[in-house]
């Protein structure tokens, strides 16, 4: 009986734990939303080993990237990382290659 109760409890709780990475989709408009989108872009950049880059996101969905990278491939990676984030519609890539 305890096994079945535990199983039912797990089934009921499981849907609540899904979707933690989608909180940018339900965030309010304005500064808070922009900060959430910027954080997601920075997370993607760090995941690809791209550090020290500036990110600014505006309400129209435009993300501005700036800084320096060592190759054109890294510059493209940074742009693609920004475009992967929900809420980014356009990227202005001001990143320069050393």
For the chain, domain boundaries: 27-97
Q: Cα–Cα distances in Å, from 56 out to 13, 24, 63, 65, 92?
A: 37, 15, 6, 7, 10
Q: Kind and range of the H or E element at 74?
A: helix 72-83
Instruction: Determine the CATH number of domain 27-97.
Output: 3.30.1340
The pair of structure tokens assigned to 76 is: 């493209």
**Taking 70 as the threshold, does the pLDDT of residue 28 lie above it?**
no
Q: Rounded CA gap, 82 and 41, in Å? A: 5
The residue among 37 and 7 whose pLDDT is bigger is 37
Percentage of residues in the chain with pLDDT exceeding 90? 57
Q: Rounded CA gap, 51 and 56, in Å? A: 15
* Residue that is written with structure tokens 């980014």 in the block: 88
**Taking 70 as the threshold, does the pLDDT of residue 27 lie above it?**
no
Q: Which of 19-28, 46-55, 64-73 has the lowest mean pLDDT?
A: 19-28
At residue 31, the pLDDT reads: 74
**Taking 60 as the threshold, does the pLDDT of residue 41 lie above it?**
yes
- As a whole number, mean pLDDT of residues 38-46 equals 94
Q: How crowded is the C-beta side of 30, counted as CA atoms within 13 Å?
A: 2
Q: What is the DSSP letter of 59?
A: T
At residue 34, the pLDDT reads: 85
At residue 33, the pLDDT reads: 82
């Amino acid at each position: 009986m305890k096994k079945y109760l535990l199983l039912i409890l797990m089934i009921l709780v499981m849907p609540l734990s899904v979707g933690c990475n989608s909180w940018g989709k339900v965030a309010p408009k304005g500064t808070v939303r922009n900060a959430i989108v910027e954080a997601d872009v920075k997370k993607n950049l760090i995941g690809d080993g791209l550090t020290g880059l500036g990110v600014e996101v505006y309400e129209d969905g435009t993300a501005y990237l700036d800084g320096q990278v060592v190759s054109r491939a890294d510059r493209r990676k940074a742009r693609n990382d920004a475009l992967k984030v929900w809420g980014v519609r356009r990227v202005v890539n001001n990143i320069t290659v050393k």
